Amino acid sequence: MDRLVRQLSFFAPAAVMSAWATVMFNLIVTGHINRLLSPMFRPYVFVAATLLLVLSVLYLLLYQPDEQPAPAFAPTGRLRQLGRWLVLLVPIVAASVLSPTALSDTTMMNRQLSSTAGAIPMPTWNSTSQANADSLLTADPNQPVPVEVTDLITLSQSPQQMQSFTGRKVRTVGLLMDGKLVRWIMWCCAADAQPVSVELGGNVTGNWSNTQWLEVIGTAEFPSTLGRVAPRIDVESIKPTQEPDEPYLSP
């Protein structure tokens, strides 16, 4: 029995490292990592998971269990050994199974309170923003232009582009929140994600619930109040839709 206990103790570090690696690979394969990390950081998760597996194998190959009896103060008995394993493995299982699929509406409201009119300051107008605006403006005016919430906010920073885009029919996807269409913008991970939003006007009736994913088609408007432009979509149609492959946007 003592030998079995020592063997279990010996395999514990390798088992924990392998378990963490399995959780990381599971996040990648299932796509759940898209809700936790910005795309630029995801490759590092794959690298870390691979290294953990390699270290687990090296640990088993290079180290051998101590054949000496355990010290008198060391935990003994099956129950106490099980407890040691649970202390190591329960957090891993919890991280994998209990991690949220999306940030809650409470988190959204709390983080919106620190922003202005429900939209945080966006990156300054640059060549990338100009190229994106040009592609939107040259799209077929007879068809709804596919845009992101962040596109409308960025357009509102350029008076010339805003004037050219006013009245264009658009199609966008987002989370409903108190009469606004919201997307989370992520710089690094879910911990720093902030909500950005555009107002919804017109036909917004329906049995919709907060944080429900909706596809909205309507007309882009850029009304100004006290010198501040707040993008708005005057809704023509609205319907439920599935969560995008990338639920969070990057700046």
Domain extent listing, the chain:
2-97, 105-249
Range in 34-38, 41-45, 127-131 the model is least confident about: 127-131
Range with the largest mean pLDDT of 6-20, 137-151, 199-213 = 199-213
Say whether pLDDT at 39 is over 50.
yes
Q: Exposed, middle or buried by CB within 10 Å (0-12, 13-18, 19+), for 121?
A: exposed
Query: Which pLDDT score is estimated for 67?
Result: 56
Say whether pLDDT at 203 is over 50.
yes
Query: Which pLDDT score is estimated for 92?
Result: 65
Query: Which pLDDT score is estimated for 133?
Result: 60
Query: Which pLDDT score is estimated for 251?
Result: 66
Query: Which pLDDT score is estimated for 154?
Result: 82
Q: What is the spatial distance between Cα 200 and Cα 214, in angstroms, rounded to a whole number?
A: 12
pLDDT per position as a tens digit, 90-117: 666 666 666 555 566 666 665 653 334 4
Class of domain 105-249: mainly beta
* pTM for the full predicted model: 0.62
Mean pLDDT along residues 27-32: 88
Range with the largest mean pLDDT of 56-70, 117-131, 132-146, 228-242 = 228-242
Please list, in sequence order, all residues whose beta carbon lies within 8 angstroms of the beta carbon of residue 195, skipping any fewer than 6 positions away: 108, 111, 112, 115, 118, 120, 177, 182, 183, 184, 185
